[in-house]
Amino acid sequence: MAAVHESVLDAIGGTPLFRLARLGAGLAAPVYAKAEFLNIGGSVKDRAALSMVLAAERDGLLKPGGTIVEATSGNTGIGLAIVGRRRGYRVIAGLADKSSAEKADILRAYGAEVVRASTAVPQEDPRHLFKVMERLTEEIPGAWLANQYDNLANPDAHLRTTGPEVWEQTGGRVTHFVAGVGTGGTITGTGEYLKEASGGSVTVVGADPESSSYGGGDGSPWYVESIGHYLHPDTVEDRWPQALRSEAIDSYERIPDRESLLTARRLAREEGILAGPSSGTAVAAALRVARQLGPEDLVVVLLPDSGRSYLSKVHSDAWMREWGFLEDGDGLRSLLEAAGPLVPVAADATVGEALEVLRDVPGGVAPAVLARTERPYGVAATEVVGSVSRAALEAALADGTVKPGDSLGALLGPALPAVGVGQSPAEARAVLGGACRSVLVLVDGRVAGVLPREVLG
Ligand code: PMP
């Protein structure tokens, strides 16, 4: 018989393990998933939220009538909203502008106030979500910033609960623990406990988006929410969270977005587990780890949240197709190959530099991108800030408005519309509408090429 609790707060944690029998078929080592989406607020972050609020009350940082403030990709805010409202506080959740609309709606439903701000600017920028929330905390009397990234009550929650649960549920047989790394709280606390309990024999593996800098990528953007470490090209200081103690992690598996997203979809279809995209990253990593192991090993992979928050994203065929993650026909693939490789222009280039780049570009139009540096994982669509056209530059030079050494400035046109490689030429024409002459084509959320209207039929 299931437990009876006097408060939902008593029901946080205690999540089951499910064997991934379908996705792990043919592997010698069993792979078990820790179902954190079954927490009361739908994610692993309920544990950290409860732990941080109780610690803040204990330390006198949060007093009756106080306000909880936090920057969140969604789930920590939901956990804080549940715990905070239940214990009588006002809750303000600062949500990254790339987080899903569902998360904002859920936050409001639990009684949190939602503030949207960007995480796509350097952390020092006053518009950055973290800075906006710091300012609010200073302005509101009795406000406390939970600060999950540097709050040690976050990893502590997992040291006290998630770690012991995994150890007990597997009867001490777990040999490998795999989890994504956002704040690092989950993997640090759980990993440290399992290492301690096993006398150091459990291997802890971080599941990281391929371009995230935790696992060795360049920090350029990726498409799995809530995990990884992003580095804006203008970032001055690369700070890693204090909730992440890197010694707890033995190695990283670096997972491309397509593999993460398709694995999340397989989890739903083949295992009956509707989970979020970071669960896809974690399971993809766990399967890679398990392929190297034998029957005496046992892998536990942590699934942080539910797929219900992403029905408009990873679990939507239309979204997957629009961002170039799903191709179920020829789509634009053959037109893209005929068009040749992508040639981007750095948005802060000079007119002369841009013309040099554009000289041999068919159609004479290129996307202007944020980064000057090479992007080994491709130019993410989210890094495109505008467009540059050879004709416009030449005209401005000819009439003397600009000189070759000037920056592009006002000559930067609007960002071109984009379609996924799996979309049809007719869909691309519809996206172009009346005003634009070229369309960007995305493969795996990265710009793979530019197609002029003429080739779309
Ligand atoms: N996946 C999801 C969906 C999350 O919300 C989070 C928390 N930001 C993580 C993974 C990463 O967990 P942690 O912050 O404990 O590293």
Tens-place pLDDT, residues 262-271: 999 999 999 9
Stretch 323-333: mean pLDDT: 93
Does residue 423's CB lie within 6 angstroms of at least one atom of ligand 1? no
Do residues 332 and 314 both lie within one domain? no
pLDDT at 330: 82
pLDDT at 431: 94
pLDDT at 375: 86
Do residues 281 and 162 both lie within one domain? yes
Q: Is the confidence at residue 328, as pLDDT, over 90?
A: no
Stretch 247-263: mean pLDDT: 98
Cα 105 vs. chain centroid, distance in angstroms?
19
CA 124, CA 230: separation in Å to the nearest integer? 14
CA 40, CA 86: separation in Å to the nearest integer? 13
Q: How confident is the model at residue 11 (pLDDT cuts 50, 70, 90)?
A: very high
> Which strands, in side-by-side order, build the sheet including 418-420?
418-420, 438-443, 446-452
> Which strands, in side-by-side order, build the sheet including 90-96?
113-117, 90-96, 67-72, 143-145
Do residues 242 and 312 both lie within one domain? yes
Mutate which of 119, 186, 187, 246 for ligand 1? The one with the most ligand atoms within 8 Å of its CB, which is 186
Stretch 422-432: mean pLDDT: 95
Q: What is the Å distance from ligand 1's center to 295 Cα?
A: 30
pLDDT at 119: 85
Of 286, 318, 350, the one marking the end of a domain is 318
- Residue 28 domain-assigned (yes or no): yes
Q: Is the confidence at residue 370, as pLDDT, over 90?
A: no
Do residues 21 and 170 both lie within one domain? yes
Do residues 299 and 353 both lie within one domain? no
- Residue 1 domain-assigned (yes or no): no
Q: Is 98 a catalytic residue?
A: no
- Residue 6 domain-assigned (yes or no): no
- Residue 100 domain-assigned (yes or no): yes
Of 284, 318, 352, the one marking the end of a domain is 318
Give the 3-state secondary structure of residue 253.
Answer: strand
Of 283, 318, 353, the one marking the end of a domain is 318
Which stretches of 64-207 are DSSP H helices?
A: 75-86, 101-109, 129-139, 153-157, 163-169, 185-197
Q: Tally the domains of the chain.
A: 3
Q: Is the confidence at residue 372, as pLDDT, over 90?
A: no
* Identified catalytic residue from 45, 103, 131, 195: 45
- Residue 7 domain-assigned (yes or no): no
| Shortest-distance Cα residue to atom 4 of ligand 1 | 226
Q: Is the confidence at residue 399, as pLDDT, over 80?
A: yes
- Residue 332 domain-assigned (yes or no): yes
Tens-place pLDDT, residues 401-413: 999 999 998 899 9
Do residues 52 and 33 both lie within one domain? no
- Residue 246 domain-assigned (yes or no): yes
Q: How confident is the model at residue 121 (pLDDT cuts 50, 70, 90)?
A: confident
In contact, 418 and 410? CB cutoff 8 Å: no
- Residue 21 domain-assigned (yes or no): yes
Tens-place pLDDT, residues 63-118: 999 999 999 878 999 999 999 999 999 999 999 887 778 889 999 999 999 999 99
Do residues 30 and 69 both lie within one domain? no
Tell me what the pLDDT averaged over the chain comes to: 95
Do residues 353 and 402 both lie within one domain? yes
Q: Is the confidence at residue 434, as pLDDT, over 80?
A: no
| Shortest-distance Cα residue to atom 12 of ligand 1 | 182
Does residue 182's CB lie within 6 angstroms of at least one atom of ligand 1? yes
* Single-letter residue type at 14: G
Do residues 121 and 175 both lie within one domain? no
CATH number at residue 382: 3.10.580.10
Q: Which atom of ligand 1 is nearest to the CA of 277?
A: 3
- Between 225-234, 286-295, 351-360, 412-421, the lowest mean confidence (pLDDT) is in 225-234
Q: Which atom of ligand 1 is nearest to the CA of 244?
A: 16
Do residues 123 and 186 both lie within one domain? no
Do residues 172 and 304 both lie within one domain? yes
CA 52, CA 56: separation in Å to the nearest integer? 6
Q: CA–CA distance from 429 to each of 382, 451, 455 (Å)? A: 21, 10, 10
| Domain range enclosing 135 | 45-145
226-194-247-254 Cα dihedral, nearest 10 degrees: -40
Angle, CA 375 vertex, CA 367 and CA 358 arms, to 5°: 35
Do residues 369 and 224 both lie within one domain? no
Q: Is the confidence at residue 167, as pLDDT, over 90?
A: yes
CATH number at residue 168: 3.40.50.1100
